[in-house]
Amino acid sequence: MYGSISWSRYTKKKEAIRYQKEVCDTINFINDSIPVSLNGFKENEIKTLKYFRISKGKRHHAATIPLVNSQILGRLNIMVPTQIFKTDTLAITLDDRLYYLSEMSFEARYNYGMTGPVGKCFCEGTGFKKINGKLSSTIPYILNRETGISNFKIH
């Protein structure tokens, strides 16, 4: 029994490595919602979140999301719907603050049961690697008031 479980885990791990190279690393377009959380903002300080994608230096698909106080205070995630290429940058503005999210990545994953991986391998978005050029490892992405770029101009 133990040998069978070990062999299953070993083969699933090998399959995940192959799937990562052949499928996940080749994903170029993302059509998903990205969770964002705010930190350090005061109640009623901001009314809207504006976002757009930057592709090859040009701005595309600008949209606005109205915010409620529980989102501003960081108690609720804000789901930002995106249609973005893997190499694009997502820009988010919150009144006088700007955030650049870049380097989207995916990882091969399995659902796990009591004895190890079950079902087929799938690609799961592990998110943007950087916020304003600095490494970020959290999902939802926490946009801190202090780390936002201020005094910016958008062309």
3-state SS, residue 3:
helix
| 43 located within any domain | yes
Of residues 152 and 28, more confidence is placed in 28
Question: What per-residue confidence (pLDDT) applies to 104?
Answer: 84
What total of structural domains would you count in the chain?
1
**CA 143, chain centre distance (Å):** 12
CA end-to-end distance (rounded Å), the chain: 63
Taking residues 18-31, what's their average pLDDT? Answer: 86
| 126 located within any domain | yes
Is the pLDDT at 39 greater than 80? The verdict is yes
| 153 located within any domain | no
Is the pLDDT at 2 greater than 80? The verdict is no
| 155 located within any domain | no
pLDDT band, residue 53 (cuts 50/70/90): very high
Domain that holds residue 21: 2-147
Report CA-CA distances (Å) from 75 to 23, 41, 70.
35, 12, 5
Is the pLDDT at 98 greater than 90? The verdict is yes
Q: Which residue has the tokens 């799937």?
A: 19
Is the pLDDT at 130 greater than 80? The verdict is yes
| 27 located within any domain | yes
Decide the pairing of beta strands 97-113 and 89-94.
antiparallel
